[in-house]
Amino acid sequence: MSRTGFKAAAGSTLAALCLFPFATASATPAPAAPAAQPKAEVFFDDFSGAELDRSKWQVEVTGENFGTVNQEQQAYVDSPETIYIEHDDASTGATNGALALHARNTPGFQAPDGNTYDFQSGRVNTKDKFEFTHGSYSARLKLPEGGTSPGLWPAWWSLGANMDEVGWPQNGEVDIMESVGEPWTSVALHGPEYHGDTPIAGQQQFEGMDPADWHTYKVDWTTDGFIFSVDDKQIYEITRAEMEQNGWTWVYDDPQFMILNFATGGQFPNGVNGVTEPYFGLPQESVDKIKSGNARYLIDWVRVEQ
């Protein structure tokens, strides 16, 4: 993005002959540029309560208000085993509690849609509760233990709230953080001509850092484009002008809602790790981690500013 600078004119003394002794004139100082307006916090949740605040979040349940997508191997359920507030800050490193999305091994679980799943997990969103157009949205996140368990797929993203009217991907999707158990996380946009294996994407490489430590993932969304950052370091930028020059339709001037979810296996993990057994995109080592109870995704806080 470009910035326009303003330079005040220097004061000057008239060199013309003076009709009156000691008379001088000087240029009027240029007015100061207006100060940047501070951003206002319009949404914040630090998960400090005893349970999920359902005035801010709704829970998605496979077979009730959500269907299976991306060949994921889990059912999303509304259960204190998969969605809960963890208050052991000394152990987690969170402040005032954290939302835990916890993947569980539940062989043969039958969801309300009649399908069976060997895993359960959690997915929450702000649809119909908090939706916004443009702004900065960020979250402090901790990936599953180890950070590099292939096929475990935690994510932090947003979707156009008009999805029911226009469908996906015409509504627009913004991925602020996706991890598939590799030593990197990714960001992406999905829209009408760019979805699935989208060309609008970038990666954060955790060189010299632990991907399973706490990190803050953020996107600045304006009418002109998106800037993605991790721990205040910019990792990717795409402008509206660049998109339109490439023939990619801009669909990001309508409200979006936020999503936090923890998938197991599926198309994106499989596309990276090539695993098909024992589950699509989910190797045995990660199945073992789920069985041991150590496949957990933590969210310290979520914030939106405008």
What's residue 31's pLDDT? 53
Cα 55 to Cα 14: distance, rounded to the nearest angstrom: 67
Find residue 188's DSSP bridge partners. 175, 201
The contacts of residue 271 (CB under 8 Å, 6+ apart) are 197, 281
pTM of the entire structure? 0.87
By the 8 A CB rule, do 297 and 217 touch? no
Cα 251 to Cα 192: distance, rounded to the nearest angstrom: 8
Q: Is residue 111 part of a domain?
A: yes
CATH assignment at residue 148: 2.60.120.200
Cα 43 to Cα 132: distance, rounded to the nearest angstrom: 10
What's residue 2's pLDDT? 31
Q: Is residue 16 part of a domain?
A: no
Q: Is residue 282 part of a domain?
A: yes
What are φ and ψ of residue 47, in 5° steps?
55, 45
Per-residue pLDDT reduced to its tens digit, 243-270: 999 999 999 999 999 999 999 999 999 9
Q: Is residue 11 part of a domain?
A: no
pLDDT-derived band at 235, boundaries 50, 70, 90: very high
Mean pLDDT of 30-47: 78
Length of the chain: 306
| Residue 78: CB atoms within 10 Å | 16
What's residue 206's pLDDT? 87
What's residue 35's pLDDT? 59
Q: Is residue 29 part of a domain?
A: no
**Residue range of the domain that includes 119:** 42-305
Q: Is residue 267 part of a domain?
A: yes
Specify the number of domains making up the chain: 1
Q: Is residue 261 part of a domain?
A: yes
Q: Is residue 70 part of a domain?
A: yes
Which range, of 16-25, 95-104, 198-207, 275-284, averages the lowest pLDDT?
16-25
The tokens describing 282, both together, are 């989910």
